[in-house]
Structure 1
Amino acid sequence: MHSTLDIGIAEVAPQLDAARDELHRQGWTVLLPQALEPGVRATLAQFGAIVPQYNGQDTWEVKAKPGFEKVPYSQSRNGIGPHTEVPVGAPPPRYLALHCHRQARCGQGHTRLADGVAFCSSLDPELQRFVRETPVTFAATLAPGATPRQTLTVPIMGSDGGRPVFRFSYNQFLYGDVNPSEAALDDASARPDANAPLVRLATLAAAYFESHAVPVLIPDGHLLIWDNHRLIHSRSAFSDPERHLTRYWLQTAH
Protein backbone atom coordinates (compact mmCIF):
# COMPACT_ATOMS: atom_id res chain seq x y z
CA MET A 1 0.00 0.00 0.00
CA HIS A 2 1.40 3.38 -0.99
CA SER A 3 1.87 6.15 1.54
CA THR A 4 0.44 9.63 0.98
CA LEU A 5 3.97 10.86 0.24
CA ASP A 6 4.52 8.11 -2.35
CA ILE A 7 1.26 9.00 -4.07
CA GLY A 8 2.20 12.67 -4.08
CA ILE A 9 5.56 12.06 -5.74
CA ALA A 10 4.00 9.65 -8.22
CA GLU A 11 1.45 12.26 -9.23
CA VAL A 12 4.11 14.87 -10.00
CA ALA A 13 6.59 12.41 -11.55
CA PRO A 14 5.97 13.58 -15.16
CA GLN A 15 6.73 17.19 -14.13
CA LEU A 16 9.90 16.09 -12.35
CA ASP A 17 11.04 14.05 -15.34
CA ALA A 18 10.60 17.09 -17.59
CA ALA A 19 12.44 19.28 -15.05
CA ARG A 20 15.36 16.84 -14.87
CA ASP A 21 15.59 16.85 -18.65
CA GLU A 22 15.63 20.65 -18.76
CA LEU A 23 18.16 20.77 -15.92
CA HIS A 24 20.44 18.45 -17.89
CA ARG A 25 20.05 20.37 -21.16
CA GLN A 26 20.35 24.00 -20.05
CA GLY A 27 21.57 23.72 -16.47
CA TRP A 28 18.48 25.17 -14.76
CA THR A 29 14.73 24.75 -14.46
CA VAL A 30 11.76 26.25 -12.60
CA LEU A 31 9.40 23.94 -10.71
CA LEU A 32 5.73 24.92 -10.60
CA PRO A 33 3.87 24.98 -7.26
CA GLN A 34 2.11 21.74 -8.22
CA ALA A 35 5.47 19.94 -8.31
CA LEU A 36 6.05 21.02 -4.70
CA GLU A 37 2.72 19.73 -3.35
CA PRO A 38 4.30 16.57 -1.85
CA GLY A 39 6.47 18.99 0.16
CA VAL A 40 9.51 21.00 -0.92
CA ARG A 41 11.91 18.59 0.77
CA ALA A 42 10.26 15.53 -0.75
CA THR A 43 10.43 17.07 -4.22
CA LEU A 44 14.05 18.18 -3.82
CA ALA A 45 14.97 14.67 -2.67
CA GLN A 46 14.26 13.57 -6.26
CA PHE A 47 17.26 15.70 -7.34
CA GLY A 48 19.73 15.15 -4.51
CA ALA A 49 20.31 15.16 -0.76
CA ILE A 50 19.79 18.43 1.11
CA VAL A 51 23.05 19.33 2.90
CA PRO A 52 23.92 21.88 5.62
CA GLN A 53 24.89 25.43 4.69
CA TYR A 54 27.43 27.84 6.22
CA ASN A 55 25.20 28.31 9.28
CA GLY A 56 25.02 24.55 9.95
CA GLN A 57 21.33 24.47 9.04
CA ASP A 58 19.89 22.88 5.90
CA THR A 59 18.02 26.03 4.88
CA TRP A 60 18.97 29.70 4.58
CA GLU A 61 16.45 32.52 4.46
CA VAL A 62 17.21 34.96 1.63
CA LYS A 63 15.55 38.04 3.07
CA ALA A 64 16.94 41.52 3.69
CA LYS A 65 18.09 42.10 7.28
CA PRO A 66 19.53 45.18 9.02
CA GLY A 67 23.30 45.59 9.03
CA PHE A 68 24.04 44.60 5.44
CA GLU A 69 23.00 47.78 3.65
CA LYS A 70 26.46 48.43 2.16
CA VAL A 71 27.62 44.95 1.15
CA PRO A 72 26.82 42.49 -1.67
CA TYR A 73 25.23 39.78 0.47
CA SER A 74 22.28 37.41 0.27
CA GLN A 75 20.53 39.13 3.18
CA SER A 76 20.92 42.62 1.71
CA ARG A 77 18.97 44.33 -1.06
CA ASN A 78 22.13 44.95 -3.08
CA GLY A 79 23.20 43.32 -6.31
CA ILE A 80 25.63 40.40 -6.10
CA GLY A 81 28.24 39.77 -8.79
CA PRO A 82 28.72 36.53 -10.73
CA HIS A 83 29.67 33.55 -8.60
CA THR A 84 29.21 29.86 -7.93
CA GLU A 85 27.91 28.74 -4.56
CA VAL A 86 30.34 27.48 -1.94
CA PRO A 87 33.62 27.55 -3.89
CA VAL A 88 35.25 26.42 -0.62
CA GLY A 89 33.28 23.16 -0.76
CA ALA A 90 35.03 19.91 -1.57
CA PRO A 91 33.00 19.46 -3.66
CA PRO A 92 30.57 22.40 -3.75
CA PRO A 93 26.87 21.45 -3.71
CA ARG A 94 25.82 20.07 -7.06
CA TYR A 95 22.54 21.94 -7.18
CA LEU A 96 21.31 25.19 -5.71
CA ALA A 97 17.57 25.73 -5.18
CA LEU A 98 15.62 28.90 -4.35
CA HIS A 99 12.01 28.53 -3.21
CA CYS A 100 10.20 31.83 -3.61
CA HIS A 101 7.72 32.81 -0.90
CA ARG A 102 7.38 36.44 -2.03
CA GLN A 103 9.15 37.93 -4.99
CA ALA A 104 10.09 41.62 -4.94
CA ARG A 105 7.11 43.71 -6.03
CA CYS A 106 9.49 46.32 -7.49
CA GLY A 107 10.17 44.05 -10.48
CA GLN A 108 13.83 43.55 -9.57
CA GLY A 109 15.83 41.00 -7.62
CA HIS A 110 16.36 38.72 -10.62
CA THR A 111 18.52 35.64 -10.32
CA ARG A 112 20.76 35.76 -13.39
CA LEU A 113 22.27 32.56 -14.78
CA ALA A 114 25.03 31.92 -17.31
CA ASP A 115 27.05 28.89 -18.35
CA GLY A 116 30.40 29.05 -16.54
CA VAL A 117 31.93 26.21 -18.54
CA ALA A 118 31.08 28.06 -21.76
CA PHE A 119 32.57 31.21 -20.23
CA CYS A 120 35.84 29.33 -19.64
CA SER A 121 35.85 28.19 -23.26
CA SER A 122 35.52 31.83 -24.37
CA LEU A 123 38.74 32.85 -22.60
CA ASP A 124 42.07 33.32 -24.32
CA PRO A 125 44.49 30.35 -24.12
CA GLU A 126 46.53 31.91 -21.32
CA LEU A 127 43.52 32.33 -19.04
CA GLN A 128 42.18 28.91 -19.99
CA ARG A 129 45.44 27.38 -18.75
CA PHE A 130 45.24 29.51 -15.63
CA VAL A 131 41.73 28.33 -14.65
CA ARG A 132 42.67 24.68 -15.17
CA GLU A 133 46.20 24.58 -13.75
CA THR A 134 46.70 27.34 -11.16
CA PRO A 135 45.50 26.73 -7.57
CA VAL A 136 43.46 29.63 -6.18
CA THR A 137 42.70 30.12 -2.49
CA PHE A 138 38.96 30.62 -2.10
CA ALA A 139 37.75 32.11 1.19
CA ALA A 140 34.27 32.47 2.65
CA THR A 141 32.79 33.79 5.87
CA LEU A 142 29.20 33.19 6.96
CA ALA A 143 28.52 36.93 6.83
CA PRO A 144 30.57 40.01 5.91
CA GLY A 145 33.12 40.71 8.63
CA ALA A 146 32.33 37.50 10.53
CA THR A 147 34.69 34.79 11.76
CA PRO A 148 35.74 32.04 11.32
CA ARG A 149 36.64 31.87 7.67
CA GLN A 150 36.63 28.77 5.49
CA THR A 151 39.30 28.40 2.80
CA LEU A 152 40.14 25.93 0.06
CA THR A 153 42.98 26.07 -2.47
CA VAL A 154 42.09 24.45 -5.79
CA PRO A 155 42.07 25.36 -9.51
CA ILE A 156 39.02 27.28 -10.71
CA MET A 157 38.13 24.46 -13.09
CA GLY A 158 38.33 21.07 -11.43
CA SER A 159 36.38 17.84 -11.46
CA ASP A 160 34.28 15.58 -9.26
CA GLY A 161 33.81 11.99 -10.29
CA GLY A 162 34.96 12.85 -13.80
CA ARG A 163 32.51 15.75 -14.20
CA PRO A 164 33.71 19.36 -14.51
CA VAL A 165 33.37 21.54 -11.42
CA PHE A 166 33.67 25.28 -11.98
CA ARG A 167 34.35 27.57 -9.01
CA PHE A 168 34.04 31.33 -9.33
CA SER A 169 33.49 34.43 -7.20
CA TYR A 170 33.54 38.00 -8.47
CA ASN A 171 33.76 39.22 -4.87
CA GLN A 172 36.58 36.83 -4.03
CA PHE A 173 38.67 37.80 -7.04
CA LEU A 174 38.33 41.54 -6.38
CA TYR A 175 38.04 41.78 -2.59
CA GLY A 176 39.49 38.55 -1.19
CA ASP A 177 36.31 36.94 0.20
CA VAL A 178 33.06 35.52 -1.10
CA ASN A 179 31.29 37.78 1.42
CA PRO A 180 33.53 40.88 1.64
CA SER A 181 33.23 43.27 4.57
CA GLU A 182 32.58 46.99 4.25
CA ALA A 183 36.24 47.56 5.13
CA ALA A 184 37.41 45.34 2.26
CA LEU A 185 35.11 47.15 -0.15
CA ASP A 186 36.28 50.59 1.04
CA ASP A 187 40.00 49.88 1.30
CA ALA A 188 41.46 51.97 -1.54
CA SER A 189 44.94 50.59 -0.88
CA ALA A 190 43.67 47.12 -1.73
CA ARG A 191 42.44 48.00 -5.19
CA PRO A 192 43.53 45.08 -7.35
CA ASP A 193 45.89 45.14 -10.30
CA ALA A 194 43.75 45.21 -13.44
CA ASN A 195 46.23 42.91 -15.19
CA ALA A 196 46.19 40.21 -12.51
CA PRO A 197 44.56 36.99 -13.78
CA LEU A 198 41.83 36.89 -11.11
CA VAL A 199 40.90 40.52 -11.71
CA ARG A 200 40.81 39.92 -15.46
CA LEU A 201 38.53 36.93 -14.89
CA ALA A 202 36.18 38.99 -12.71
CA THR A 203 36.02 41.75 -15.31
CA LEU A 204 35.50 39.34 -18.19
CA ALA A 205 32.80 37.41 -16.29
CA ALA A 206 30.88 40.63 -15.63
CA ALA A 207 30.99 41.46 -19.34
CA TYR A 208 30.04 37.89 -20.28
CA PHE A 209 27.05 38.16 -17.98
CA GLU A 210 25.83 41.29 -19.70
CA SER A 211 25.76 39.42 -23.01
CA HIS A 212 24.75 35.89 -22.03
CA ALA A 213 22.97 35.76 -18.67
CA VAL A 214 19.31 34.76 -18.46
CA PRO A 215 17.41 36.82 -15.85
CA VAL A 216 14.88 34.78 -13.88
CA LEU A 217 12.30 36.46 -11.65
CA ILE A 218 10.96 33.49 -9.72
CA PRO A 219 7.18 33.72 -9.26
CA ASP A 220 5.70 33.30 -5.79
CA GLY A 221 5.36 29.62 -4.89
CA HIS A 222 7.78 28.45 -7.59
CA LEU A 223 11.26 26.98 -7.12
CA LEU A 224 14.35 27.61 -9.26
CA ILE A 225 17.02 24.90 -9.30
CA TRP A 226 20.31 24.97 -11.19
CA ASP A 227 23.58 23.08 -11.67
CA ASN A 228 26.06 24.82 -9.40
CA HIS A 229 29.01 22.94 -10.90
CA ARG A 230 28.24 24.37 -14.33
CA LEU A 231 26.47 27.73 -13.98
CA ILE A 232 27.51 31.03 -12.48
CA HIS A 233 24.77 33.21 -11.03
CA SER A 234 24.27 36.76 -9.83
CA ARG A 235 21.45 38.86 -8.41
CA SER A 236 20.16 42.27 -9.40
CA ALA A 237 19.51 44.89 -6.71
CA PHE A 238 15.95 45.43 -5.48
CA SER A 239 14.08 47.84 -3.23
CA ASP A 240 11.21 45.76 -1.80
CA PRO A 241 12.17 44.74 1.78
CA GLU A 242 9.56 41.95 1.80
CA ARG A 243 11.29 39.82 -0.86
CA HIS A 244 11.73 36.36 0.68
CA LEU A 245 13.15 33.09 -0.64
CA THR A 246 14.49 29.96 1.05
CA ARG A 247 17.79 28.55 -0.23
CA TYR A 248 18.69 24.86 -0.33
CA TRP A 249 21.97 23.14 -1.21
CA LEU A 250 21.77 19.68 -2.79
CA GLN A 251 24.50 17.11 -3.16
CA THR A 252 24.54 14.07 -5.45
CA ALA A 253 26.60 10.89 -5.43
CA HIS A 254 28.13 11.92 -8.82
Structure 2
Amino acid sequence: MQLYTINTGYFKLDGGAMFGVVPKTIWNKLVPADENNLCTWAMRCLLIQDGNRLILVDNGIGDKQDAKFFSHYYLHGEDSLDKSLARHGFHRNDITDVILTHLHFDHCGGSIIRQGDKLVPAFPNAVFWSNDRHWNWAVNPNDREKASFLKDNIQPIQESGQLQFIPTPENGIARFSDTIQLRFVYGHTDAMMLPQLTFKDRTIVYMADLLPSTAHIPVPYVMAYDMFPLTTLNEKKSFLKEAQENNYILYFEHDAKNECCELELTEKGIRSGRTFDLKEL
Protein backbone atom coordinates (compact mmCIF):
# COMPACT_ATOMS: atom_id res chain seq x y z
CA MET A 1 0.00 0.00 0.00
CA GLN A 2 1.07 3.55 -0.81
CA LEU A 3 -0.59 6.73 0.47
CA TYR A 4 -0.58 10.16 -1.16
CA THR A 5 -1.84 13.51 0.06
CA ILE A 6 -4.18 15.09 -2.49
CA ASN A 7 -4.65 18.81 -1.89
CA THR A 8 -7.55 20.34 -3.81
CA GLY A 9 -7.25 23.94 -2.59
CA TYR A 10 -8.41 26.11 0.28
CA PHE A 11 -11.66 27.85 1.13
CA LYS A 12 -13.03 30.05 3.89
CA LEU A 13 -15.81 29.47 6.40
CA ASP A 14 -17.11 31.50 9.30
CA GLY A 15 -15.00 30.89 12.37
CA GLY A 16 -17.92 31.00 14.77
CA ALA A 17 -19.77 28.35 12.78
CA MET A 18 -16.67 26.14 12.80
CA PHE A 19 -16.32 26.26 16.59
CA GLY A 20 -19.92 26.39 17.80
CA VAL A 21 -20.25 27.51 21.43
CA VAL A 22 -16.51 28.14 21.89
CA PRO A 23 -15.89 31.92 22.20
CA LYS A 24 -13.90 33.71 19.53
CA THR A 25 -11.43 34.90 22.16
CA ILE A 26 -10.37 31.26 22.47
CA TRP A 27 -10.64 29.79 18.96
CA ASN A 28 -9.17 32.84 17.23
CA LYS A 29 -5.83 32.06 18.90
CA LEU A 30 -5.89 28.63 17.29
CA VAL A 31 -7.23 29.51 13.84
CA PRO A 32 -7.04 33.28 13.29
CA ALA A 33 -9.95 34.86 11.42
CA ASP A 34 -9.76 37.61 8.82
CA GLU A 35 -11.62 40.94 9.02
CA ASN A 36 -14.83 39.18 7.96
CA ASN A 37 -14.57 36.54 10.69
CA LEU A 38 -13.64 33.93 8.07
CA CYS A 39 -10.97 31.28 8.62
CA THR A 40 -9.01 29.37 5.99
CA TRP A 41 -9.55 25.62 5.71
CA ALA A 42 -8.03 22.95 3.52
CA MET A 43 -9.85 20.46 1.33
CA ARG A 44 -7.32 17.66 1.69
CA CYS A 45 -8.17 14.29 0.20
CA LEU A 46 -6.33 10.98 0.41
CA LEU A 47 -5.20 8.65 -2.39
CA ILE A 48 -4.64 5.00 -1.51
CA GLN A 49 -2.77 2.72 -3.89
CA ASP A 50 -3.62 -0.78 -2.73
CA GLY A 51 -2.76 -3.64 -5.10
CA ASN A 52 -4.58 -3.00 -8.37
CA ARG A 53 -6.94 -0.47 -6.77
CA LEU A 54 -6.44 3.29 -6.70
CA ILE A 55 -8.83 4.64 -4.08
CA LEU A 56 -9.61 8.33 -3.63
CA VAL A 57 -11.18 9.48 -0.36
CA ASP A 58 -13.35 12.56 -0.99
CA ASN A 59 -12.59 14.98 -3.84
CA GLY A 60 -13.07 18.58 -2.75
CA ILE A 61 -15.54 21.21 -3.88
CA GLY A 62 -15.13 20.86 -7.66
CA ASP A 63 -15.46 23.71 -10.14
CA LYS A 64 -18.87 23.36 -11.82
CA GLN A 65 -20.95 25.68 -9.62
CA ASP A 66 -21.60 29.29 -10.63
CA ALA A 67 -19.69 32.37 -9.57
CA LYS A 68 -22.33 33.37 -7.00
CA PHE A 69 -21.95 30.04 -5.22
CA PHE A 70 -18.16 30.23 -5.11
CA SER A 71 -18.24 33.87 -3.96
CA HIS A 72 -19.40 32.66 -0.54
CA TYR A 73 -16.34 30.46 -0.02
CA TYR A 74 -13.34 32.43 -1.29
CA LEU A 75 -11.52 29.56 -2.98
CA HIS A 76 -7.78 30.14 -3.12
CA GLY A 77 -4.42 28.43 -3.44
CA GLU A 78 -2.53 26.84 -6.31
CA ASP A 79 -3.57 23.25 -5.68
CA SER A 80 -6.27 21.37 -7.55
CA LEU A 81 -7.38 17.77 -7.72
CA ASP A 82 -5.85 17.24 -11.15
CA LYS A 83 -2.57 18.94 -10.26
CA SER A 84 -2.21 16.90 -7.10
CA LEU A 85 -2.94 13.63 -8.88
CA ALA A 86 -0.45 14.50 -11.63
CA ARG A 87 2.19 15.35 -9.05
CA HIS A 88 2.12 11.69 -8.03
CA GLY A 89 1.94 10.38 -11.59
CA PHE A 90 -1.81 9.72 -11.73
CA HIS A 91 -4.83 10.87 -13.72
CA ARG A 92 -8.47 10.90 -12.69
CA ASN A 93 -9.10 8.09 -15.21
CA ASP A 94 -6.83 5.86 -13.10
CA ILE A 95 -9.12 6.02 -10.06
CA THR A 96 -10.89 2.71 -9.42
CA ASP A 97 -12.82 3.67 -6.27
CA VAL A 98 -14.06 6.90 -4.72
CA ILE A 99 -15.01 6.70 -1.04
CA LEU A 100 -17.34 9.57 -0.17
CA THR A 101 -17.21 10.20 3.57
CA HIS A 102 -20.45 12.14 3.17
CA LEU A 103 -22.21 14.22 0.55
CA HIS A 104 -21.64 17.80 1.70
CA PHE A 105 -20.46 19.87 -1.25
CA ASP A 106 -16.90 20.44 -0.01
CA HIS A 107 -16.35 16.68 0.18
CA CYS A 108 -18.02 15.40 -2.98
CA GLY A 109 -18.21 18.37 -5.38
CA GLY A 110 -15.34 17.05 -7.45
CA SER A 111 -17.27 13.84 -8.20
CA ILE A 112 -19.13 15.41 -11.11
CA ILE A 113 -17.97 17.66 -13.95
CA ARG A 114 -19.70 19.49 -16.78
CA GLN A 115 -19.30 18.24 -20.33
CA GLY A 116 -21.20 20.70 -22.48
CA ASP A 117 -24.73 20.71 -21.08
CA LYS A 118 -24.30 17.36 -19.31
CA LEU A 119 -23.16 16.48 -15.81
CA VAL A 120 -20.98 13.36 -15.82
CA PRO A 121 -18.71 11.54 -13.36
CA ALA A 122 -15.23 13.01 -13.09
CA PHE A 123 -13.87 9.48 -12.57
CA PRO A 124 -15.26 7.43 -15.46
CA ASN A 125 -13.66 4.15 -14.36
CA ALA A 126 -14.43 4.35 -10.65
CA VAL A 127 -17.04 2.93 -8.32
CA PHE A 128 -18.46 5.61 -6.02
CA TRP A 129 -19.01 4.32 -2.48
CA SER A 130 -21.59 5.72 -0.07
CA ASN A 131 -24.15 4.02 2.17
CA ASP A 132 -27.90 3.87 1.74
CA ARG A 133 -28.66 5.53 5.08
CA HIS A 134 -26.58 8.62 4.32
CA TRP A 135 -27.64 8.67 0.67
CA ASN A 136 -31.32 8.77 1.63
CA TRP A 137 -30.54 11.47 4.19
CA ALA A 138 -28.87 13.57 1.48
CA VAL A 139 -31.49 13.17 -1.25
CA ASN A 140 -34.30 13.93 1.22
CA PRO A 141 -32.55 16.67 3.19
CA ASN A 142 -33.81 18.53 6.22
CA ASP A 143 -34.26 22.29 5.92
CA ARG A 144 -31.17 23.05 8.01
CA GLU A 145 -28.78 20.90 6.01
CA LYS A 146 -30.15 21.00 2.47
CA ALA A 147 -27.87 23.86 1.38
CA SER A 148 -24.93 21.47 1.84
CA PHE A 149 -26.46 18.74 -0.36
CA LEU A 150 -26.37 19.91 -3.98
CA LYS A 151 -28.34 17.89 -6.51
CA ASP A 152 -25.67 18.49 -9.16
CA ASN A 153 -23.17 16.64 -6.96
CA ILE A 154 -25.42 13.73 -6.05
CA GLN A 155 -27.99 12.73 -8.67
CA PRO A 156 -25.54 12.26 -11.57
CA ILE A 157 -23.58 9.70 -9.52
CA GLN A 158 -26.64 7.49 -9.20
CA GLU A 159 -27.69 8.08 -12.81
CA SER A 160 -24.24 6.96 -14.00
CA GLY A 161 -24.68 3.46 -12.62
CA GLN A 162 -21.32 3.78 -10.81
CA LEU A 163 -22.78 4.07 -7.30
CA GLN A 164 -22.56 1.28 -4.74
CA PHE A 165 -23.48 1.20 -1.06
CA ILE A 166 -21.53 -0.04 1.93
CA PRO A 167 -23.89 -1.95 4.27
CA THR A 168 -24.50 -0.07 7.52
CA PRO A 169 -22.72 -2.08 10.24
CA GLU A 170 -24.25 -3.02 13.58
CA ASN A 171 -21.01 -2.39 15.48
CA GLY A 172 -20.15 0.90 13.81
CA ILE A 173 -17.30 -0.41 11.64
CA ALA A 174 -17.63 -1.85 8.11
CA ARG A 175 -14.89 -3.64 6.19
CA PHE A 176 -14.02 -2.13 2.80
CA SER A 177 -10.94 -4.25 2.06
CA ASP A 178 -8.30 -6.28 3.89
CA THR A 179 -6.52 -3.08 4.91
CA ILE A 180 -9.35 -0.50 5.02
CA GLN A 181 -12.28 -0.23 7.40
CA LEU A 182 -14.99 2.43 7.50
CA ARG A 183 -16.05 3.86 10.86
CA PHE A 184 -19.66 5.12 10.88
CA VAL A 185 -20.43 8.24 12.92
CA TYR A 186 -23.72 10.12 13.22
CA GLY A 187 -23.23 13.51 14.86
CA HIS A 188 -22.09 15.75 12.02
CA THR A 189 -24.53 14.24 9.55
CA ASP A 190 -26.27 10.90 9.40
CA ALA A 191 -23.95 7.93 8.74
CA MET A 192 -20.71 9.68 7.81
CA MET A 193 -17.92 7.20 7.03
CA LEU A 194 -14.32 7.61 8.25
CA PRO A 195 -11.75 5.40 6.48
CA GLN A 196 -9.38 3.64 8.87
CA LEU A 197 -6.21 2.17 7.35
CA THR A 198 -3.49 -0.18 8.43
CA PHE A 199 -0.21 1.22 7.08
CA LYS A 200 3.33 0.32 8.15
CA ASP A 201 1.99 -1.26 11.34
CA ARG A 202 0.15 1.95 12.24
CA THR A 203 -3.54 2.80 12.20
CA ILE A 204 -4.44 5.96 10.27
CA VAL A 205 -7.93 7.45 10.49
CA TYR A 206 -9.21 9.95 7.94
CA MET A 207 -11.13 12.34 10.17
CA ALA A 208 -13.43 14.11 7.66
CA ASP A 209 -15.76 16.29 9.76
CA LEU A 210 -15.67 14.43 13.07
CA LEU A 211 -12.42 16.32 13.75
CA PRO A 212 -11.92 18.91 11.00
CA SER A 213 -8.58 20.09 12.44
CA THR A 214 -6.22 19.76 15.38
CA ALA A 215 -8.00 22.78 16.86
CA HIS A 216 -11.16 20.67 17.19
CA ILE A 217 -9.59 17.98 19.39
CA PRO A 218 -10.85 19.40 22.73
CA VAL A 219 -14.20 17.65 23.26
CA PRO A 220 -16.46 20.76 23.53
CA TYR A 221 -15.11 22.19 20.25
CA VAL A 222 -18.02 21.05 18.09
CA MET A 223 -19.08 22.78 14.88
CA ALA A 224 -22.39 24.63 14.62
CA TYR A 225 -22.77 22.81 11.31
CA ASP A 226 -23.23 19.49 13.12
CA MET A 227 -26.78 18.17 13.01
CA PHE A 228 -26.53 16.37 16.36
CA PRO A 229 -23.85 18.11 18.46
CA LEU A 230 -24.28 15.99 21.58
CA THR A 231 -23.83 12.87 19.45
CA THR A 232 -20.67 14.39 18.01
CA LEU A 233 -19.43 15.16 21.51
CA ASN A 234 -19.90 11.56 22.63
CA GLU A 235 -18.37 10.19 19.42
CA LYS A 236 -15.33 12.42 19.89
CA LYS A 237 -14.83 11.35 23.50
CA SER A 238 -15.02 7.68 22.62
CA PHE A 239 -12.83 7.94 19.54
CA LEU A 240 -10.15 10.13 21.14
CA LYS A 241 -9.77 7.71 24.05
CA GLU A 242 -9.41 4.77 21.66
CA ALA A 243 -7.04 6.68 19.38
CA GLN A 244 -4.78 7.92 22.19
CA GLU A 245 -4.58 4.54 23.88
CA ASN A 246 -3.73 2.80 20.60
CA ASN A 247 -1.43 5.49 19.18
CA TYR A 248 -3.54 6.12 16.06
CA ILE A 249 -2.49 8.68 13.48
CA LEU A 250 -5.18 11.25 12.66
CA TYR A 251 -5.30 12.58 9.08
CA PHE A 252 -7.11 15.92 8.74
CA GLU A 253 -9.20 16.98 5.78
CA HIS A 254 -9.68 20.63 6.75
CA ASP A 255 -6.65 21.65 8.83
CA ALA A 256 -4.85 24.26 6.72
CA LYS A 257 -1.49 23.67 8.46
CA ASN A 258 -1.39 20.13 9.80
CA GLU A 259 -1.88 16.99 7.74
CA CYS A 260 -1.46 14.46 10.53
CA CYS A 261 -1.04 14.24 14.26
CA GLU A 262 -0.60 11.82 17.11
CA LEU A 263 -2.40 12.34 20.41
CA GLU A 264 -1.13 12.76 23.93
CA LEU A 265 -2.81 12.72 27.33
CA THR A 266 -2.35 15.98 29.25
CA GLU A 267 -3.71 17.43 32.48
CA LYS A 268 -6.39 19.14 30.34
CA GLY A 269 -7.35 15.91 28.61
CA ILE A 270 -6.38 14.46 25.23
CA ARG A 271 -4.67 16.95 22.98
CA SER A 272 -2.67 17.07 19.77
CA GLY A 273 0.85 15.74 20.11
CA ARG A 274 3.37 15.49 17.29
CA THR A 275 2.16 16.96 13.98
CA PHE A 276 3.66 15.94 10.64
CA ASP A 277 3.02 15.38 6.94
CA LEU A 278 1.87 12.02 5.64
CA LYS A 279 5.01 11.62 3.53
CA GLU A 280 7.09 11.51 6.76
CA LEU A 281 5.69 8.10 7.68
TM-score range, shorter chain: under 0.3
Compute the TM-score of the two structures, normalised by the length of structure 2: 0.23
Compute the TM-score of the two structures, normalised by the length of structure 1: 0.25
Higher RCO structure (Cα 8 Å, ≥6 apart): 1
